[in-house]
Structure 1
Amino acid sequence: MELELKKEQFACYQALPQLSENREETTETIVPDYLPDIARIVDASGCLFLRSREIADGKAQVSGTVRMTLLYVAEDAQGMKSFEYTLPLDETIEGRALSGSADSCLDGRLCSCEVRMLNPRKVFTRVNVELTLTPYVPASLSVCSGVKEQEAYKIETLCEKKDIGIIRAIREKDFTFSDEVLLSGTKEPIQELLRTKCALRVTDCKSIGNKIVLKGVARLDAIYLDESGNLASMSSELPFSQILDGLAEEEGETTVRASLRLTGAEIHVGSESEPDNNRAISLRLYISAFTAVREVKSVCCVVDLYSTAYDLTAKTETVELCDSAALVLREQLVREKIETGAEVQTVLATDVIFSSAGVSGGGESASLRATANLRVLYLDENAVPLLSERRSEVLLETDLPGSGQARVQDMYAGEIAASVGADGVELRFPVTFAVSVAETPRYPCLQSLEAEECGKKDENVPSLVLRAMKQGERLWDIAKLYRTTVEAILAANELKEESAAVIGKLLLIPRRR
Structure 2
Amino acid sequence: MELKVFRDTLSAMGSLWETKAELPIETELLIPDYLPQVFKIVKCFVYPVTLQKQVAPGRLTVEGYLRCVVYYQAEEDQSLCQVEQKIPFTRAMDLPEGQHQGYSVTVNGEVEYINCRAVNQRRVDVRGAYALSAQVCAQSDQEIITALADCGAEQKLVPINGLRTVANLDKLLTAEEEVTLPGQVQAVIDISGVGQVEEIKVITGKAVVKGRIQVALTYRSQPGWQLETVEQAVPFNQIIDLDSAPEDATAFAEVEMIGCTLTAAAGQEGASTLTVTAMLHLRMVRQVECYVVSDAFSTQYSADVTYKSVTAEQLAETLNRTVEATASGTLPDENAQIIGCLVTLHPLEWVAAEGGGVGLGGRAIAHVLCMNSLGEIDCYDKSFDFTLPDVWPGTADQYRAECWPVVTAAQPVAAGGEVTVRVSVRVRGLVFRRVKETVVDSITCETALENPEPDVALRICYASAGENIFEIAKHYHVPPAAMMKLNHLEDLQLTAPARLLVPMTV
Find the aligned partners of 2:466 and 2:74 in 1 and give their Cα distance. Answer: 83
Counterpart code for 1:374: A
Note the 1:103-502 alignment, pairs <5 A: 103=103, 105-108=105-108, 111=111, 114-126=115-127, 128-147=129-148, 150=149, 152-160=150-158, 162-180=159-177, 182-183=179-180, 188-199=182-193, 201=195, 218-226=213-221, 231-236=226-231, 238=233, 240=236, 242-244=238-240, 248=244, 250=246, 254-256=249-251, 265-270=259-264, 275-321=266-312, 325-326=316-317, 329=321, 331-337=323-329, 339=331, 341=333, 343=335, 347-355=338-346, 358-361=349-352, 364=356, 366=358, 370-378=362-370, 386-394=377-385, 396=387, 400-403=391-394, 404-405=396-397, 409-423=403-417, 425-432=419-426, 439-456=433-450, 458=452, 460=454, 462-493=456-487, 495=488, 497-498=490-491
Structure 1 residues 415, 69: CA separation in 2 closer, same or farther (over 3 Å shift)?
same
Deviations 1:378-424 (A, max 9, x none): 56789x67233123231549663132425775543331223343535
Q: Residues 115 and 126 of structure 2 are in contact (CA less than 8 Å); yes or no, is this contact kept in structure 1?
A: yes
Find the aligned partners of 1:378 and 1:88 in 2 and give their Cα distance. Answer: 32
Structure 1 residues 391, 216: CA separation in 2 closer, same or farther (over 3 Å shift)?
farther
Find the aligned partners of 1:420 and 1:110 in 2 and give their Cα distance. Answer: 29
Counterpart code for 1:9: T
Structure 1 unaligned runs (5+)? Answer: none
Structure 2 unaligned runs (5+)? Answer: none
Find the aligned partners of 2:185 and 2:146 in 1 and give their Cα distance. Answer: 72
Which secondary structure state, in structure 1, belongs to the residue aligned with residue 467 of structure 2? coil
Post-superposition offset of 1:42:
4.3
The answer to whether 1:510 aligns with 2:480 is: no
Find the aligned partners of 2:351 and 2:165 in 1 and give their Cα distance. Answer: 30
Post-superposition offset of 1:110:
5.7
Q: Residues 179 and 274 of structure 2 are in contact (CA less than 8 Å); yes or no, is this contact kept in structure 1?
A: no
Could you tell me the percent identity over the aligned residues?
17
Post-superposition offset of 1:178:
1.4
Post-superposition offset of 1:154:
2.5
Q: Residues 108 and 131 of structure 1 are in contact (CA less than 8 Å); yes or no, is this contact kept in structure 2?
A: yes
Counterpart code for 2:157: C
Post-superposition offset of 1:427:
1.6
Note the 1:42-53 alignment, pairs <5 A: 42-53=42-53
Structure 1 residues 3, 75: CA separation in 2 closer, same or farther (over 3 Å shift)?
same
Find the aligned partners of 1:297 and 1:268 in 2 and give their Cα distance. Answer: 47
Which secondary structure state, in structure 1, belongs to the residue aligned with residue 279 of structure 2? strand
Counterpart code for 1:134: Q
Post-superposition offset of 1:351:
0.8
Q: Residues 328 and 382 of structure 2 are in contact (CA less than 8 Å); yes or no, is this contact kept in structure 1?
A: no
Deviations 1:227-286 (A, max 9, x none): 68884321536464645456846486x5445565666x351233xxx5544534423233
Q: Residues 71 and 194 of structure 1 are in contact (CA less than 8 Å); yes or no, is this contact kept in structure 2?
A: no
Q: Residues 47 and 66 of structure 1 are in contact (CA less than 8 Å); yes or no, is this contact kept in structure 2?
A: yes
Post-superposition offset of 1:34:
6.0
Structure 1 residues 78, 100: CA separation in 2 closer, same or farther (over 3 Å shift)?
same
Deviations 1:84-107 (A, max 9, x none): 333333433333269868555353
Find the aligned partners of 1:322 and 1:308 in 2 and give their Cα distance. Answer: 35
Note the aligned Cα RMSD (angstroms).
4.2
Post-superposition offset of 1:340:
6.2
Find the aligned partners of 2:310 and 2:198 in 1 and give their Cα distance. Answer: 32
Which secondary structure state, in structure 1, belongs to the residue aligned with residue 368 of structure 2? strand
Counterpart code for 2:503: P
Post-superposition offset of 1:189:
1.6
Post-superposition offset of 1:146:
1.0
Structure 1 residues 398, 204: CA separation in 2 closer, same or farther (over 3 Å shift)?
same
Q: Residues 408 and 426 of structure 2 are in contact (CA less than 8 Å); yes or no, is this contact kept in structure 1?
A: yes
Q: Residues 321 and 440 of structure 1 are in contact (CA less than 8 Å); yes or no, is this contact kept in structure 2?
A: yes
Find the aligned partners of 2:329 and 2:7 in 1 and give their Cα distance. Answer: 63
Find the aligned partners of 1:439 and 1:473 in 2 and give their Cα distance. Answer: 29
Find the aligned partners of 2:98 and 2:252 in 1 and give their Cα distance. Answer: 21
Find the aligned partners of 1:202 and 1:97 in 2 and give their Cα distance. Answer: 38
What TM-score comes out, normalization by structure 1 length? 0.79
Counterpart code for 2:29: T
Find the aligned partners of 1:257 and 1:507 in 2 and give their Cα distance. Answer: 52
Q: Residues 324 and 422 of structure 2 are in contact (CA less than 8 Å); yes or no, is this contact kept in structure 1?
A: no
Post-superposition offset of 1:352:
0.8
Find the aligned partners of 2:90 and 2:190 in 1 and give their Cα distance. Answer: 24
Counterpart code for 1:38: V
What TM-score comes out, normalization by structure 2 length? 0.80
Which secondary structure state, in structure 1, belongs to the residue aligned with residue 17 of structure 2? coil
Find the aligned partners of 2:15 and 2:267 in 1 and give their Cα distance. Answer: 49
Post-superposition offset of 1:457:
5.3
Structure 1 residues 257, 136: CA separation in 2 closer, same or farther (over 3 Å shift)?
farther
